[in-house]
Amino acid sequence: MSVSLRKVRAEDSARLLAWRNSEAVAPYMYSDHRISAAEHDRWFAGLAGADDRRYWVIELDGAPVGLANLARIDRANRRCEWAYYLADPATRGRGVGSCVELMVLDHVFGPLGLGKLWCEVFVENEAVWKLHEAFGFRREAHYRRHVYKAGLPRDVFGLGLLAEEWRAARPAALARLRAKGYDPEALTIE
């Protein structure tokens, strides 16, 4: 299996809207409404030429299966936020998320030259925050009643990773990927 990240293209727009509204993705997003085509079109148009964010389609063996992004890239403070989702539930548990994590962390702390990456994850999304922690992220916050979904308050963990922590955690991450049958050197990111 090969996993890659390629830049979002114009022809991805309809697929991304469908994913954002899908039962596989929507429950994990902060928004709590069905995203309209007009709202999506405004969001998608904002991706072009933005210097403070990056969006990639996650591909498994050449087929689109999800989206990864960096947001609020702050070069002055050497930090940014990130998120990703796997829209095809069949890809979960196969090491795809671990591959995405490795590629994004290497990109943030390598070519981008940033010093910190952070994210927020619903407390009940244990598989994701545990994956982040396995890559060296530390829980920095527990935001109580941070987001309302379906009229109910949801808690969120804030996780952060520093460049030096990634350097220390990277060898173990590489070993785990190799044990799952992935060649870290074959992972590609545009």
pLDDT digits (tens, 9 = 90+) for 27-55: 999 998 999 999 999 999 988 878 999 99
pTM of the model: 0.95
* Number of domains the chain contains: 1
CATH of the domain at 8: 3.40.630.30
Tell me, rounded to whole angstroms, the distance of Cα 113 from its chain centroid: 18
What residues are paired with 120 via a beta bridge? Answer: 158
Domain range spanning residue 181?
Answer: 3-189
Q: How confident is the model at residue 48, as a pLDDT?
A: 81
Q: How confident is the model at residue 128, as a pLDDT?
A: 96
Q: How far is CA 187 from CA 27, 39, 106, 107, in A?
A: 29, 33, 11, 12
